[in-house]
C-alpha cells in the first residue's frame, strides 16, 4: 500500500509539475507580449533560456567546420589550377576557331557543310562557357553571395548570353556595312566594348557593397529601436529581424540589369570571328545563325553553372546558420565579401586588359 501510495504521489507531483510548467509557459508569453517594452535583463535571460529549451537541436560545430573546410579547399584548388585552365582554354578556342573558319570555306562550295557549322557552333557555345571568363566570374560570385531566386537567375543568364550575341552581330554589322571597317578596326572596337564590360563589373561590385553596408546599418538601427532581446518566435508582436530575402528584393532588379549589361556588353569573341570570316566568303547570314547558336549553347551551360552555384550555396548556408538572426547577419556579411570580390576581379581584369590582348582569339 505504501508503495502504491508513493507511486500515486509521484504521479500527482509529476502532473502538477507539468501543469505548473505549462502555466508558466503561457504566463511567460503573455508577459512577453504585454510588457515587452519594460522587460529587464532577468526576464530577457529567462525568455532566451525558455526558447533555447524548445529550439531544435543545432548542427554540431564539427559538421560546420568540415563543410567550411571543404568549401575553402575547393576554392583554393581552383585558384591553383586557374592559370593552367586559362591557357588550355585559350589554346582550345583557337583550335575551334580554325575549324569554324574551315567549315565556312567548305560551305562556300557545299552548303551542306552549314549543318556541321551549326552543330560545332552550338558545341562551341557550351564548351566555351565551361572555360574561365568574366561572365562566369560575375554569375558565380553574385549568386553565391547574394539571395537570388532560381527563376530570376536562369532568366538573367539566358538574357546575358543572347545580349552578347546581339552585341556582336550589331557591332560587326554596323562596322562592316556602314563604315567598311577592316578586321583590325573591328578588333579595336570589340576591345573597347570589353573595357566597358569590366567597368560595369566594377560598378556592380560597388552597388553590392553599398547595399550590404546600408542593410547592416538598417539592421543595427532596428536593434537599437527594440530594447528588448527576445527570440525569433517571441510572442511580443514585433518582428526583430528581417528575412534575408526581404532585405534584398527592393533593388534586385537593378542589380540584375547591371549584371546583364556587364556580361552582355562584352561581345562574344567566337561570334565576332565567325561573322568576319562569313563576311569574307560572302555567307554573312550563315555567320549570324552561327552566332545565335553559340548563344544557345552558352545560355545552356551558364544556366547549369547558376543552378550548381545556388544549390551549393543552399547546402553551405544550411550548416553555417541555425536561426533567423544568424541567417540575416550571414547574408549581409557574405554579400559584402561578394561585392569586394567583384571590385577586385574587375580591377584585375581591367588592368590585365590594358596589356593589349586581342579579344579575337
Sequential DSSP letters for 317-358: HHHH--SHHHHHHHHHHHHHHHHHHHHHHHHHHHHHHTT---
Q: Are 92 and 131 in contact (CB under 8 A)?
A: yes
Residue predicted with more confidence, 316 or 15 = 316
pLDDT band at 113 (very low <50, low <70, confident <90, very high): very high
Q: Is the pLDDT of residue 232 over 50?
A: no
Q: What is the pLDDT, as a whole number, of residue 275? A: 94
Q: Which of 12-16, 141-145, 299-303 has the lowest mean pLDDT?
A: 12-16
**Distance (Å, whole) CA 107 – CA 8:** 97
Phi, psi (rounded to 5 degrees) for 190: -65, -35
Label residues 180-198 b or e (16+ Cβ within 10 Å = b): ebebeebbebbeebbbebb
Q: How many CB atoms lie within 10 A of CB 165?
A: 25
Tell me how far CA of residue 41 lies from CA of 176, 246, 286, 354, in angstroms. 75, 30, 75, 60
Confidence bin at 69 (pLDDT 50/70/90): confident
Phi/psi of residue 238, nearest 5 degrees: -105, 150
Report yes or no: 325 and 230 within 8 Å, Cβ to Cβ: no
Residue 132 has pLDDT above 50, yes or no: yes
Question: In the prediction, which pLDDT does 246 show?
Answer: 45
Average the pLDDT over 325-342 and give the result: 82
Higher pLDDT, 60 or 14: 60
**pLDDT for 298:** 93
What does the block give as the cell for 230?
527576445
pLDDT tens digit sequence for 158-207: 999 999 999 999 999 999 988 888 888 898 888 889 889 889 999 999 99
User: Whose CA is closest to 104, among 276, 272, 295, 269?
Assistant: 276
Calculate ∠ Cα 21-25-27, nearest 5°: 115
Statement: residue 53 has pLDDT above 70: no
The 3-state DSSP class for residue 221 equals: helix
- At 268, the pLDDT band (50, 70, 90 cuts) reads confident
Query: Averaged over 235-253, what is the pLDDT?
Result: 48
More confident residue, 42 or 72: 72
Q: Which H or E element spans position 50?
A: helix 41-54
Q: Chain-wide mean pLDDT for the chain?
A: 75
Report the pLDDT value the prediction gives residue 164, as an integer from 0 to 100.
Answer: 93
In terms of Cα–Cα distance, which of 197, 287, 229, 282 is closest to 32? 229
In angstroms, rounded to a whole number, what is the distance separating the alpha carbons of residues 165 and 353?
A: 21
Q: What percent of the chain has pLDDT over 90?
A: 25
Three-state SS at 246:
coil
pLDDT in the model for residue 51: 43
pLDDT above 60: residue 250: no
Lowest pLDDT segment from 31-40, 75-84, 213-222, 350-359: 31-40
359 pLDDT higher than 50: no
Phi, psi of 147 (to 5 degrees): -60, 130
| φ and ψ at residue 227, rounded to 5 degrees | -75, -25
Amino acid at each position: 500500500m505504501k508503495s502504491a501510495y508513493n507511486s500515486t504521489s509521484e504521479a500527482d507531483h509529476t502532473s502538477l509539475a507539468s501543469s505548473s510548467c505549462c502555466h508558466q509557459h503561457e504566463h511567460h508569453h503573455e508577459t512577453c507580449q504585454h510588457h515587452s517594452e519594460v522587460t529587464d535583463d532577468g526576464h530577457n535571460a529567462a525568455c532566451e533560456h525558455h526558447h533555447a529549451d524548445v529550439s531544435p537541436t543545432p548542427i554540431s560545430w564539427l559538421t560546420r567546420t568540415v563543410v567550411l573546410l571543404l568549401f575553402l579547399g575547393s576554392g583554393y584548388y581552383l585558384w591553383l589550377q586557374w592559370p593552367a585552365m586559362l591557357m588550355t582554354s585559350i589554346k582550345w578556342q583557337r583550335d575551334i576557331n580554325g575549324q569554324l573558319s574551315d567549315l565556312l570555306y567548305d560551305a562556300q562550295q557545299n552548303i551542306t557543310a552549314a549543318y556541321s557549322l551549326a552543330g560545332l557552333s552550338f558545341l562551341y557555345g557550351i564548351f566555351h562557357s565551361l572555360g574561365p571568363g568574366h561572365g562566369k566570374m560575375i554569375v558565380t560570385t553574385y549568386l553565391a553571395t547574394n539571395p537570388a531566386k532560381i527563376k530570376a537567375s536562369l532568366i538573367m543568364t539566358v538574357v546575358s548570353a543572347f545580349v552578347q550575341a546581339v552585341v556582336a552581330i550589331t557591332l560587326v554589322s554596323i562596322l562592316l556595312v556602314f563604315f567598311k571597317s577592316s578586321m583590325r578596326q573591328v578588333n579595336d572596337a570589340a576591345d573597347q566594348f570589353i573595357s566597358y564590360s569590366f567597368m560595369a563589373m566594377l560598378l556592380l561590385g560597388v552597388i553590392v557593397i553599398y547595399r550590404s553596408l546600408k542593410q547592416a546599418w538598417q539592421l543595427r538601427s532596428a536593434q537599437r529601436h527594440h530594447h528588448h532581446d527576445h527570440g525569433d518566435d517571441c510572442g511580443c508582436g514585433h518582428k526583430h529581424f528581417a528575412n534575408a530575402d526581404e532585405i534584398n528584393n527592393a533593388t534586385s532588379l537593378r542589380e540584375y540589369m547591371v549584371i546583364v549589361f556587364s556580361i552582355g556588353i562584352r561581345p562574344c569573341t567566337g561570334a565576332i570571328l565567325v561573322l568576319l570570316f562569313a563576311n569574307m566568303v560572302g555567307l554573312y547570314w550563315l555567320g549570324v545563325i552561327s552566332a545565335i547558336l553559340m548563344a544557345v549553347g552558352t545560355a545552356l551551360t551558364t544556366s547549369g553553372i547558376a543552378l550548381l552555384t545556388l544549390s551549393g550555396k543552399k547546402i553551405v548556408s544550411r550548416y553555417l546558420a541555425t536561426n533567423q538572426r544568424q541567417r540575416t547577419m550571414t547574408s549581409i556579411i557574405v554579400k559584402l565579401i561578394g561585392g569586394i570580390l567583384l571590385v577586385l576581379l574587375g580591377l584585375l581584369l581591367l588592368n590585365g586588359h590594358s596589356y593589349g590582348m586581342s579579344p579575337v582569339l
